[in-house]
Amino acid sequence: MTGIVDTLTLTAEDALGLVERREVSPTELHATYLEAIAARDDELHCYLRTVDEAEGTSIPIALKDVISTRGVETTAGSRILSGYVPVFDATVAERCKAAGLSLLGKTNTDEFAMGSSTENSGFGPTRNPWDPALVPGGSGGGTAAAVSAGLAPWGLGSDTGGSIKQPSALCGNVGLRPTYGTVSRFGIVAFASSLDQVGPVAKTVRDVALLYRIIAGRDPADSTTVELPAPVELPTDERLDGLRIGVPRQALALEAIAPGVRAAFEAVLERARELGADVGECELPLSFDYGLPCYYLIAPAEASSNLARYDGVRFGRRSAGTTYREMVERTRDEGFGDEPKRRIMLGTYALSAGYYDAYYGQAQRVRTLVVREHAAAFERFDVLATPTSPTVAFPIGDRAADPLAMYACDLLTIPSCLAGLPGLNVPCGFSDDLPVGLQLIGPQFGENTLFRAGHALERALALDLVPGRLRG
């Protein structure tokens, strides 16, 4: 690196300090990240496109390509949106601009955020900075890999069933899926509207809290948003005295959890006890037995409705056709990749006459039970803890041909998403020299508790999270 700072280790908080003290200008910092991108991103492919000039007065940020950015192509990783240049900013992009952050680039994602490996991108996969033969997780593999590879100080992702938390776990950084309704979805390319949430990804819990403070709060343009009941607090406490941590027995019973992940998880629970936390067992039987099937009915059903707008009329690509209907059907068949088609088909089927009650209706009732089980667990505990992903990063190509194997990546992240609850991934150790993530789940609007718990553990563990192969 010829730059003025080492982007592999620089936190967003430190970068903000450098800019505030005028030790580095926003332009210099932006250029330094572009140099790092030029050096490493041919291999990793975190970015779909970068922005040459710093437009803000503060530090740069990477935005997942599902976030509309005025004047900057936004594709959601899909060829059906190739060449689409939004004429407005998503509210979160606008809030980042208002805070002085300059857009560094748009990051790769599974097409329409559908996937757990970023292999479903219409523009080629992103690679894991720890080992380029492995996936970075998904759908937000671009943002997560960029943060861990020093190609962005921080970034925004979007999470429907684990797309922020799981890639953060597989890349070894911190990711927050906020409480549903705390961050505006206006201008986000919609996948499943009752589940989609935008959230921050960064190197530290404090960075994530700082970025959450910038993007959270009610937006008149999104009627599902609410004002935060309490301001975002930057965590400082290094103890966990009195914190009640519940570990769902049914989550730990899952055979899918790899031994190395289990060992790292058990070690971090022990560390939490040493820091004064009270760790106990809780019960979420239906959430872990029925959460995954419930999600794979609700999310595709909503997706089939949201993706109806890609019809070759108002934006995006158009295929030739002699009639309107032929044009629409060809546009959609040629523009969508395999995974969106699979989900559109599944969702359309689940919503079609004769099947609605048995599938979508039944799944919505299961969702009620998942909400109730979590509410009961939070009567006894302040946070719940599980591993974020059942495994560490897996080889590119390993699960691509088996949709059900890919869907199982989100086994542990999905239940709390269905319940609309916030979840934080914090790196908690290594297995086979690859990062393992701890998932902390909070009650609705429990972000401050998650930040406090995550920060104390992060400080106590003091892991070295720079991918060894990238060190100069």
Binding site for other proteins (CB under 8 A): 83-85, 87-88, 180-181, 194, 220, 223-224, 226, 286, 289-290, 293-294, 296-297, 304, 308, 311-318, 321-330, 332-333, 336, 341-342, 344-346, 348-349, 352, 358-359, 361-369, 371, 403-404, 407, 418-421, 444
Q: Which of 58, 64, 158, 304 is catalytic?
A: 64
**CA–CA separation, 261 vs 390, rounded Å?**
7
Q: Bridge partners of 154?
A: 202
What is the total residue count of the chain? Answer: 472
The smaller minimum CB distance to other proteins, of residues 215 and 268, is found at 215
The smaller minimum CB distance to other proteins, of residues 131 and 302, is found at 302
Closest CA to 153 of 50, 2, 35, 16: 16
Half-sphere exposure of 295 (CA within 13 A, CB side): 32
Q: Bridge partners of 107?
A: 47, 64
Q: At what angle do helices 12-20 and 26-44 cross, to 10 degrees?
A: 150
- Residue 177: how many CB atoms within 10 A of its CB? 32
The smaller minimum CB distance to other proteins, of residues 77 and 235, is found at 77
At 300, list the tokens. Answer: 């595709």
User: Which 3 state secondary structure label does DSSP give 371?
Assistant: helix
On the question of a cis peptide bond just before residue 139, with omega within 30 degrees of 0, the verdict is yes
The smaller minimum CB distance to other proteins, of residues 217 and 403, is found at 403
Closest approach of other proteins to the CB of residue 314, in Å? 6
Q: Is 97 a catalytic residue?
A: no
Closest approach of other proteins to the CB of residue 99, in Å? 24
The smaller minimum CB distance to other proteins, of residues 311 and 458, is found at 311
Write the DSSP assignment of 66-119 as a string of letters.
TB-BTTB---TT-GGGTT---SS--HHHHHHHHTT-EEEEEE--SGGG--SSST
Q: Is 431 a catalytic residue?
A: no
Closest approach of other proteins to the CB of residue 329, in Å? 4
Closest approach of other proteins to the CB of residue 262, in Å? 24
Backbone φ and ψ for 56, nearest 5 degrees, come out as -100, 180
The smaller minimum CB distance to other proteins, of residues 2 and 322, is found at 322
Closest approach of other proteins to the CB of residue 330, in Å? 5
Backbone φ and ψ for 402, nearest 5 degrees, come out as -125, 95
The smaller minimum CB distance to other proteins, of residues 109 and 179, is found at 179
Phi-psi group of 316: left, alpha or beta (phi > 0 → left; psi -120 to 50 → alpha; rest → beta): left
Q: Is 163 a catalytic residue?
A: yes
- CA distance to 264, 284, 383, per residue, from 243 (Å): 20, 20, 8
Closest approach of other proteins to the CB of residue 312, in Å? 6
Closest approach of other proteins to the CB of residue 9, in Å? 37
- CA distance to 19, 28, 268, 303, per residue, from 290 (Å): 49, 51, 27, 20
Angle made by CA atoms 341, 346, 352, in degrees to the nearest 5: 120
Q: Which of 116, 117, 121, 139 is catalytic?
A: 139
Closest approach of other proteins to the CB of residue 200, in Å? 20
Backbone φ and ψ for 26, nearest 5 degrees, come out as -55, -35
The smaller minimum CB distance to other proteins, of residues 155 and 316, is found at 316
Q: Which of 163, 304, 389, 416 is catalytic?
A: 163
The catalytic site residues sit at 64, 139, 163
